[in-house]
Chains A and B, each alone.
Chain A
Amino acid sequence: MTPYTAVVSSRFRMLLQYRAAALAGIGTQLFFGVVRTMIFDAFYRSSNLPQPIARDDVVTYIWLGQAFLVLTMLDADKDVADMIRSGNVAYELVKPVDLYWLWFSRAIAGRAAPLMLRAIPILVLAGLWHGLRGPASGVAAALFAAAILGSLLLAASIVAAMTISMVWTISGEGISRLMAPLVFFFSGIVVPLPLFPDWMQPALATLPFRGLIDTPFRIYIGQLHDASAVSALANQAVWIVALVAVGRIMLARSLRRLVVQGG
C-alpha cells in the first residue's frame, strides 16, 4: 500500500462507522426522490409538447441523483480546517508525503464511504418500487461505471482546491457556501441538465459541474452514447487534470507564505 491508499482506506473505514448518518441520509433521499419524481410526473402530464428527455428517463435520472447525491455535496475538509486553525497542519508537513495527494486522498475517502453506504440501498429500493430502470446497455453500464469513477476524482479535485483555499482564508465556510449554489444548479441535481433552455446548453456542457452526475447519468440512460459519451468523458478528464494542476499550484504558493498559527 502506498501512503495515499493507506490514508484512503483508514478514513474510509472510519467513515463507514457513521451508520446513523447513512440511515438518516437514505431516509431523506428516498423521501425527496418520491416527491421529486411526483413533481416531474405532474410536469410531463401537463404538457403535450415533445420534451428533450423522456419521462421514464427523468425518473431514472432523479433516482440516480438521490443515490449519488454525495457526489454533489462539496465541502472543504473540516478536519483540515481544524488543523489549519490549530496549527496541527505543521504535522502534515513533517510527513514524507505530498500534501496535495494526501488531501486529495482524504477527499476521495470522504465521498466514497458515504456513497457506498447510501447508493446501493437507494438504487435497490427505487429499482424495485419506484421506476428506476436498468442501464441502457452493457456498454452503457461499463461507461457509467467509468464516469462515476471520474466523477469521484472530479469531486475530489474540486474539494481539494477548496480545502487548499483555506490556507489563505482559515475558514472553509465561505468557499463552501459559494460553491453550493453553483453545484446545485449546474450539476443537474435539481433539474436534469437536458431540461435547461437550449441557449444554456453550450455553457452547461463546458462547465466542470456536469461531470459530477449529469455525464454518468446520461450515459446510463443511453442519451449519451458513442461519440457524445466519449466527448463527455473527455470533458470530465480535462477538468480533473486542470483542477488538480490548479490545486497543486495553489498549494505550492500557499506553502511558501504559510504561517503556522500558534506555539
Chain B
Amino acid sequence: MSQIVVDDLIKVFHVARRTPGLWGSVRGLVKRDWAAIRALDGIGFSIDRGELVGYIGPNGAGKSTTVKILSGILVPDSGRVTVMNRTPWADRIRYVRTIGVVFGQRTQLWWDLPVIESFDLLREIYAIPADRYRKTRDEVIDTLDLGAVLHTTVRQLSLGQRMRCDLAAALLHEPELLFLDEPTIGLDAVSKLAVREFIGRLNKERGITVILTTHDMDDIEALCRRVIVIGEGRILSDGTLADLRASVTRERWLTVDLADNTASTLIVDPDARVIRQEGRRLCLAFDPQQVSAPELIARVVRTHAIHDLFVENPPIEAIIARMYDRDASETAPR
C-alpha cells in the first residue's frame, strides 16, 4: 500500500487587496477587498515507501503549500491526505513524530544555543530514549561531518554548515519520511554536493522516503527517479525523468567545437537547427526520428573541420520551461 495518498487537494488563500494610493489606504480601513488565490487546485498523487520524489514548479505554484499540508502545518479547504494511515492535520502531534521536515530558508535550531544543545533539546521534545539518541546522533554527526561545529552557536554558522545541522536535527528521531523544502537554496557548490550526496545515501541505505522540492534542476537530475511537476496549483506531469522528457520533446542536442574560425563556420542542415553559438562552439537541436545522431554527425564532419563533439539530452530546465510555456498557452484564452 502507498505510504502517502493525496486526493483532490484544494487550498485557497484569501489575501487582502488594497487599491494603491492614499484613497486606497483610507478605503481599506472600512472596506477590504479580498482576492482568492487558489494555491492548490485539485492535487492528487500517491507515493510508495522508499521513493525519492522531486516536487518541482515555479515560484507560487503550490509546492510549499503542499509540503506544509503534508507535514500537518496547514489545513486544506478540501481533499483527502493519508500518510502512514494518518491525516496529518487532524492528528498533528502524533503524526509529526514520524516525519522529518527541513525548510531550506529557515532553521529549527535555537539561534543562541550551541548546535549540540539544540540537538539535546530536540531529544527531550521528541522523548527519544537516551541510548537510541546517542547512536543516531553520533551517526548523523559522523556522516554529515559536523564534529567541528557542534559547540558553535547556531548564529555563527555558515549557511552550508547550518543546513547540514538542520538536516541532522530533522533525523534525530529517525523519521520514516522526510520532507525537504528547497534544502540546497543559497548553498555554494561544495555544500550543495555534500547535501545532495547525503540525501541520496539516506534514501538508498536507510530506505527513508524523501519528498524534495527544489528549483535546482541538478538536484533533480542527481537524485530523483520520479518527478512531479506542478504549476498554478495543478499537476502538469508525474513520472520518471525520462517520461517527462519524452512527453515534452524528443529533441536531442549535438554540441560541436569547430577547429577553425573561418567565415563558413555556420552549419546549415535541413534536419537540425542551431540553438546556440558561442565562439567556435555550436549547439544543434535535432529530432532523432528524423535524423539519427550518427547520420547527423557524419554530415557535419564531412563539411566542417571538427575539434570535438558530444551529444546530450536537453537540460531539464529547458524541458520544464517548455512545459510551463505549453501549459500557459493552453490555459490562457487568446
* A in complex with B: yes
A residues in contact (CB < 8 Å) with B: 1-3, 6-7, 10, 14, 86-88, 90-91, 93-98, 255-256, 258-260, 262-263
Cβ B108 vs Cβ A91 within 8 A: yes
The DSSP consensus for interface residues of chain A is loop
Question: Can you show 21 pairs from A to B with CB atoms below 8 A apart?
Answer: A1-B124, A2-B124, A3-B125, A7-B121, A7-B124, A7-B125, A10-B121, A14-B113, A87-B103, A90-B73, A90-B103, A90-B106, A94-B101, A95-B126, A96-B93, A97-B125, A98-B93, A255-B75, A260-B74, A263-B103, A263-B182
Are B101 and A10 in contact (CB-based, < 8 A)? no
CB-CB under 8 A from B104, the residues of chain A are 263
Binary CB contact string for chain B from 193 to 204 against chain A (1 if under 8 A, 0 otherwise): 000000000000
Residue from A6, A88, A259, A260 in contact with B125 in the complex, judged by beta carbons closer than 8 Å: A6
By the criterion CB–CB under 8 Å, are B92 and A93 in contact? yes
Are B73 and A256 in contact, CB atoms less than 8 angstroms apart?
no
Total chain B interface residues with beta-carbon distance under 8 A: 32
Question: Which of B64-72, B137-145, B268-276, B292-300 has 4 or more CB atoms under 8 Å from chain A?
Answer: B64-72
Per the bound structure, the CA–CA distance linking A87 and B101 in Å amounts to: 14
The 3 closest A-B pairs by CB, nearest first: A6-B124, A91-B108, A96-B97
One digit per residue, 1 when the CB lies within 8 angstroms of any chain A CB and 0 when it does not, for chain B 13-57 equals: 100000000000000000000000000000000000000000000
- A88 (CB) vs chain B CBs: closest residue: B106
A175 to B264, CA, bound (A): 75
A-contact bits for B143-157, CB 8 A (1 contact / 0 none): 000000000000000
Output the nearest chain B residue to A89 by Cβ-Cβ distance: B73
The CA of A6 and the CA of B113, in the complex, are separated in Å by: 14
Q: Are A94 and B124 in contact, with the CB atoms below 8 A?
A: no
> What residues on A are CB-neighbors of B64 within 8 Å?
263
Q: Is B117 an interface residue (CB 8 A)?
A: yes
Report chain B residues within 8 Å CB of A2: 124
Within 8 A of A (CB), among B89-128: 92-94, 96-97, 99, 101, 103-108, 110, 112-113, 117, 121, 124-127
Tell me whether B73 and A260 are in contact (CB under 8 A): yes
Is B181's CB within 8 Å of the partner chain A? yes
Q: How far is the CA of A90 from the CA of B64 in the complex (A)?
A: 11
> In the bound complex, do residue A96 and residue B68 qualify as a contact, i.e. CB atoms below 8 Å apart?
no
Pick from A3, A87, A95: contact of B106, CB below 8 A.
A87
**Assembled-state Cα–Cα distance A252/B125 (Å):** 21
Q: What residue in chain A is nearest B213 (Cβ atoms)?
A: A263
CB of A103, distance to nearest CB on chain B (Å): 14
Q: Which residues of A contact B108 (CB under 8 A)?
A: 88, 91, 94-95
Chain A CB within 10 Å, residue with most, of B72, B75, B92, B99: B92
CA distance A217 to B96 in the complex (A): 44
CB distance from B183 to the nearest CB of A (A): 12
Known A-B contacts A91-B103, A94-B101, A258-B74; A14 and B112 likewise in contact (beta carbons under 8 Å): yes
What chain B residues lie within 8 Å of A1 (beta carbons)? 124
Closest to A93 in B: B73
User: Complex Cα distance A101/B223, Å?
Assistant: 39
From known contacts A10-B113, A263-B105, A263-B181, infer whether A90 and B68 are also in contact, taking CB-CB under 8 Å.
yes
